[in-house]
Amino acid sequence: MRIAEPTVERLVLYARLLKRLQEEGVDVISSQEIGDELGLKASQVRKDLSYFGEIGKRGVGYSVPRLCEHLQAILSPPRVWRIAMVGVGRLGGALLGYGPLQNEKFKMVALFDVDPAKVGRTFRGAPCFHVDGIADVVAELAIEVLILTVPAEAAQSVVDRIASSSFVKGILNFAPAPIVVPKEILVYNVDISVELEKLLFYLKQKESGSSRFVLE
């Protein structure tokens, strides 16, 4: 079953909310309460969760522990993904300190950079290697996912170094440039400037009173 990207994004938000509520000791929650917490319509919540069968009871709500476990099983397999980051500059450094990246689903096992001041050091438990040796390190540590936070002009050269790897399955690309990868590797592009331009576009439409374009 193919699930639309916005739906997957909402499932991640549901899982994050439910994990927090479970830690706070909340046992039951309704679709309305989930929607209120996340700024969504209750009908949208119910529709999203109905993709995976009936896991709530009408008039009662959802069991927080059960729904949390259900969503975790959907979003990730029962194993830890081994990930690495290429580029330990300002953006890379900020992401390393980002709380949600420190969880049980994935482990940052390596970092890569070209700066001699960073190579050979350890940042938040992950050793930093020179990018020239990325292919060997990827194979040695069985790295499955790469996060690219390098300048646009460096992104493709990094990808070319690991293109033949049988370990890398996905790339999260923060570089403001498209990259070409083998068909076996899944790429998700995150261009912050594009997202900002989209937001400004919708703000302009809202201020002009136009209903032609709707942000969903």
Give the separation between CA 26 and CA 18, rounded to whole angstroms: 9
**Average per-residue pLDDT in the chain?**
87
This model's pTM is above 0.85 = no
Instruction: Sort 204 into a burial class: Cβ within 10 Å, 0-12 / 13-18 / 19+.
Output: exposed
Write the pLDDT tens digit of every residue in 6-51. 888 899 899 989 989 999 999 999 999 999 999 999 999 988 888 7
Q: Cα-flanking dihedrals φ and ψ of residue 31, to 5°?
A: -65, -35
pLDDT value at residue 167: 92
Tokens linked to 203: 């703000």
Q: Are 46 and 21 in contact (CB under 8 A)?
A: no
Write the pLDDT tens digit of every residue in 151-182. 999 999 999 999 888 899 999 999 988 999 99
SS3 call for 206: helix
All structural domains of the chain, each given as residue ranges with its CATH number in brackets, are 5-73 (1.10.10.10), 81-193 (3.40.50.720)
Region 110-133: mean pLDDT is 95
Write the pLDDT tens digit of every residue in 48-105. 888 766 665 666 788 999 898 888 888 776 678 899 999 999 999 888 888 767 677 7
Give the separation between CA 24 and CA 17, rounded to whole angstroms: 11
